[in-house]
Chains A and B, each alone.
Chain A
Amino acid sequence: MIRTEEMLLNVGPQHPSTHGVFRVIVKIDGETIVEATPVIGYLHRGTEKLAEDLTYTQIIPYTDRMDYLSAMIGNYALVHAVETLMGLEIPERAEYLRVIAMELNRIASHLVWFGTYLLDIGALTPFLYAFREREKILRLFAELSGARLTYSYMRIGGVKWDVPDDGWLGRVRRFIDDFKGALEEFHTLVTGNEIVQARLKGVGKYDQETAIAYGLTGVNLRSTGVAYDVRKAKPYSIYDRFDFEVPVRTEGDLWARYLLRMAELEQSRRIVEQAVAQFPSGGEIMAKLPKLIRPPAGEVYTSVESPRGELGVYILSEGKPQPYRIHFRRPSFVNLQLLPKLLVGENIANMIAILGSIDIVLGEVDA
């Protein structure tokens, strides 16, 4: 028997496939991983502590920068918690605008995942096709909110900007119609590919019990057969008005997660389609609110379905303009905890594929 030595390999924080400043130290035997230790915190900004000195409205830009791929949903998670604490009634027009913005953002976020994930497993072209579609969404967002990535579009009590009156909704409608074709194109180009299937099927498997024990949410949980989607389980905003499904699979492997995210693109597309069709012709976009927002003393926890899972916001208020304590339950951070367990016994190529399929955003992991 030849005695071979194990080698410590430092992956990241500067590595093409760690999706930001994530670092994992792996002990490898040949190419097989024996042990993996993730190191996080390179992007830590102390959002929760900073928020204690800010008024609620001032916290909104910080939520943009947590999960920067779905800033609309981050914005909403915060304002939704404050609104729940205050018991605010939101104008219908604002709710529709929020849903359209959030679901378009979910599509944009999943598109980034789709592109970068295939880049991780070595396919170059889907990335550019995905970004071509995402670009259309970012343009719509720029017209709506003035920003392409950090929107700060939501406000406590409504949204900041009304629909641009140059046919913006028509352009959303056209995008949504065209996107159907783009989705089909993605499936034709990628889903049926033998190499993609060989790379994804049966890899990175975990069962339902593990998923629940680790508190996984989003696609990472739904790939093991649990139909848990916050939009259905604890409906918020006006999601109860739309007809959409929660795609679920039971394999728990990379392939299941790939198919689920692709299916969610279609579901989000359907929601936007319905929201545009039902969009109210008039009305306010902001509720009547005092200049300085002081929620009543008390605590609240609300959660929303972000593209990465359950994004929760906990607020402890003393009735002051600033929160006493605010906590974000960041799904990327929670989902990442399973990584060291999943990596043991895999090789380096699978490591990249597994990390990609968990779908983390480092701004959110490190907050």
Chain B
Amino acid sequence: MKVILEVIIFTILVLGYAPFAIYVHRKLLGWMQGRVGPNRAGPYGLLQTIADTLKVLQKEEIIPANADTALFRIAPIIAFAPAFIVFAVIPFAPSLTFADLGVGLLFYVAVASISTIGVIAGGYASNNKWSLIGAMRAAAQMISYEIPLVLAALGVVLLAGSLNLNTIVEAQSRSVWFVIPQILGFVIFLIAAIAELNRTPFDLTEAESELVAGYQTEYSGVRFAFFMLAEYVYLLAMGGLIATLYFGGWLPPHPALAFIPGIVWFLLKALIFAFLPFWLQATFPRARVDQLMTFAWKWLIPLAMVNLVLTAMAKAWI
């Protein structure tokens, strides 16, 4: 009973976060671009996302004539469900983890890569050339960037000696936050995470000016909303993971600040990294698909390996 209640509360919280994130996204982009952002619906435009959601829910469900109907219907769910599942292993506060798995980090990475299948399925099922190209790019990109992502995270695992995210956070309470010894790993992880999330400058899968909307081209209404929701929820999940691995999760920056509850610290750190991509979006143009692959295979992966070896050597000799 308690578990069910927890799950319901958690789902509502994450679902409530998405409209908030979309609002912050649009407002931040607006300010960075010399605009005011949404300001019509409700005070300060706070109800804008609610209004948009209601609009999207009312849309007719269009399935292209020659689409693979079953796959087309299920793809958004495949893309969207893992975004929620990964939250299970994220430690929000000292005793607040929904599933305190021994292999938490592995679980996160494994489940998160299922979303790629949803994206590919969606692109393939649409029977649209733009969608297909977008899906192909997604496949190539997500697979390429998962490698440096995991290699970079392995540095942290070596330092903490565990894949359990709670243990990783506790290990940081004994020493410094892992961002300091793992600065190279952190930079690689951040870049790979942004590519993994398809955010600018790596937003090739839905590159509007090139591929119209990539794998989302034929999606509308609720199914489109599912893809969008997955994107924003992943931002928070990835923010949470970065906070956990490199910035001490729920730990306060200084023991004197321990009177503030851990969940506040965690959310603060997670949100900073969840909203960082919005800033990058306002700043950077898009990389080209071949440059993206070159960057992953020739730069990030070797660097991540160097980082891993250095960490192992430091661990062995210091």
Contacts and interface: CB of A to CB of B under 8 A. Distances in A.
B95 interface: no
A348 B286 contact: no
Identify which of A31, A120, A124 gathers the most chain B CB atoms within 10 Å of its CB: A124
Interface of B: 29, 32-35, 129-130, 133, 200-201, 203-204, 207-212, 281-291
Given A195-B201, A352-B209, A352-B210, A129 B286 contact: no
Contact of A193 (B35, B130, B285): B285
A349 B207 contact: yes
A32 to B, nearest CB: 10
Contact of B29 (A121, A124, A352): A124
A124 B33 contact: yes
A16 B285 contact: no
Nearest to B291: A198
Contacts of A128: 33-35
Contact of B212 (A16, A125, A129): A16
Interface in A192-208: 193, 195-196, 198-199
B287 A195 contact: yes
Given A199-B288, A352-B209, 15 more contacts: A7-B129, A16-B208, A16-B212, A118-B285, A119-B209, A122-B203, A122-B286, A123-B285, A193-B284, A198-B291, A199-B285, A199-B287, A199-B291, A347-B288, A349-B288
Interface residues of A, number: 28
Contact of A132 (B34, B281, B287): B34
Contact of A122 (B34, B209, B212): B209
Contact of A121 (B130, B133, B209): B209
Interface in A313-367: 347-350, 352
A50 interface: no
A122 B288 CA distance: 10
A215 to B, nearest CB: 28
Interface string A273-315: 0000000000000000000000000000000000000000000
Contacts, number: 77
A122 B283 contact: no
Contacts of A120: 209
B286 A121 contact: yes
A195 B34 CA distance: 23
A350 B209 CA distance: 11
Given A15-B212, A17-B210, A347-B288, A125 B201 contact: no
Interface string A123-145: 11100110010000000000000
A196 B291 CA distance: 12
A325 B48 CA distance: 56
6 contacts: A121-B286, A122-B209, A123-B285, A124-B281, A125-B282, A198-B287
A198 to B, nearest CB: 6
A180 to B, nearest CB: 18
A39 interface: no
Contacts of A122: 200-201, 203, 207, 209, 284-286
Contacts of B210: 17, 348-349, 352
